[in-house]
Amino acid sequence: MPSSSRIILDKAAMQNNWDFFREYFGDIQISAVVKGNAYGHGIETYVPLAEDCGVNHFAVFNSEEAYRVHDVAGPGTTIMVMGSMNEQDIAWAVNNEVEFFVFDNARLDVAIEEAKQVGKKAIVHIEAETGMYRTGFDLEEIPALIEKLKDNKEYIRFRGLCMHFAGAEHISNYVRLKQQKILFRKFVRAFRMAGIEPEQIHTCCSAASVRFPDMRYDMLRIGIMQYGFWPSPELMVEYMNAQGIELNGDVKSPLKRVIRWESNVMSVKHVPQGGFIGYGYSFFAGQDMQVAIVPVGYAHGFSRSLSNSGRVLIKGHRLSVVGVVNMNCVVVDVTEIEDGVKAGDEVVFIGEQGEREISVASFGEMTSQLNYELLTRLPMNIPRLISDTSAT
């Protein structure tokens, strides 16, 4: 299948990140959050690699993602659905021992019903509403919920009690998060007093895992950090400070970027002084120029907001996108490369080449997209490959 670009996952970087978590967080269980097509890395490629790194718990948003993880995961791997599912999905989940969040009575009733039908227990994580106002039971609903769980013991396995923080990556949310913590402890107490305990408690995404050691409980749900990114720059600074690492130009993140995104030059062209490049008048050639056409455009995840401002790497040079980003291609100014560029030369959008690197953050800053958004918008149909330097 001819493809205009490739995404390459660096297995050694993944291993580095998981080794770091084990050292930093200790023995605690970690669920690898692989929603959003594993943050753009590609579920089918990413999950088996993560298993090789010792990961055996994956969290997804919806059942479609759960099916995809289930198709590639080994035996003994746990799948947990945190969001959307319909009734058939719940039947499938119960049957396959896929765990799922229960955040309202409607879903709990379906879970009980399907468990009766299937003849197996539904394995559920009760989500507490602690002030994010997305999903979760209110504290006032807990007494009735406790009764229901007790009455349906043979259908419901109370696997987890959980919550999600409303923006743990920003210190500006501090007061809100603190209130969430206080409220969550009331949920924990309510269950404890009623003599019905979840097998595990989990509350932390990446940012909260770093910021709130007191909220780690039995499991962390780590998304963005496993791919080698901090949830926000301030969180990395906070980590460094807490570790007593002096911040200077040489400081290296303990996390390594897993993803690389590259393509090849499709064609090269001379532009005479006075010409306009691409659609309209947005780029004027003030001098004679050499440009390279690269067959990746906004249809392939290269944002249109990078028009006249994006950077790519070719032959170790950091070069500018000129003109507007087209649906299927961009034009790059290669005039400064003295020995020329030819069709087939490698182009890097995210990753290293020679001495240079384009990180997702610098890419994202130019588009003003978050790491999260930029990664998850990388189309599914770009092939995902693996680079395994540890094996050679």
Interaction site with ligand PLP (CB under 6 A): 33, 35, 82, 164, 205-207, 221-224, 231
Q: What is the dihedral sign for C-alpha 99, 100, 101, 106?
A: negative
Map tokens 């490049």 to a residue.
277
Query: Which one, 231 or 278, has the nearer CB to ligand PLP?
Result: 231
In one-letter notation, the amino acid at residue 391 is A
Neighbouring CB atoms inside 10 A of 13's CB total 19
Residue nearest to ligand PLP (CB): 223
Instruction: For the CB of residue 30, give the shortest distance to ligand PLP in the complex, in Å.
Output: 10
CB 297 within 8 A of CB 326: yes
User: Between 111 and 163, whose beta carbon lies closer to ligand PLP?
Assistant: 163
Alpha-carbon span 224 to 388, nearest angstrom: 21
Residue pair 226/22 in contact by the 8 Å Cβ criterion: no
Looking at residue 294, what DSSP letter applies? E
Q: Per the structure block, which two tokens stand in for 294?
A: 């690269």
**CA-CA distances (angstroms) from residue 230 to 220, 234, 257, 295, 349?**
15, 9, 10, 30, 20
Q: 151 CB contacts (<8 Å, ≥6 apart)?
A: none
Measured from the CB of residue 392, what is the shortest distance to ligand PLP in angstroms?
A: 31
Residue placing its CB nearer to ligand PLP in the complex, 228 or 310: 228
CB of residue 205 to ligand PLP, shortest distance in Å: 3
CB of 221 to ligand PLP, least distance (A): 4
> Assign residue 42 a region: left if phi > 0, alpha if psi is -120 to 50, beta otherwise?
left
User: Which CB, 102 or 207, lies closer to ligand PLP?
Assistant: 207
CB nearer ligand PLP, residue 85 or residue 222: 222
Considering the complex, what minimum distance in angstroms separates the CB of residue 367 from ligand PLP? 19
Which of 77, 387, 79, 377 has the alpha carbon at shortest distance from 257? Answer: 387
Sequence-distant (6+) residues with CB within 8 A of 146 are 190, 191, 194, 196
Rounded to a whole number of angstroms, the minimum distance from the CB of residue 65 to ligand PLP is: 12
Specify the residue, 205 or 312, whose C-beta has the smaller distance to ligand PLP.
205
Quick one: 160 or 323, whose CB is closer to ligand PLP? 160
Reading the block at residue 309, the tokens are: 């401002």
Nearest approach in angstroms of CB 226 to ligand PLP is 8
Q: How far apart are CA 10 and CA 44, in angstroms?
A: 15
Element (H, E) at 109: helix 105-118
Q: How far apart are CA 148 and CA 144, in angstroms?
A: 6
Q: How far apart are CA 346 and CA 349, in angstroms?
A: 10
46 versus 298: smaller Cβ distance to ligand PLP: 46
Q: How far is the CB of 100 from ligand PLP (least distance, A)?
A: 12
- Which residue, 84 or 95, has its beta carbon nearer to ligand PLP? 84
Q: What is the largest CA-CA distance in the chain?
A: 80
Q: What's the min distance (Å) between Cβ of 358 and ligand PLP?
A: 21
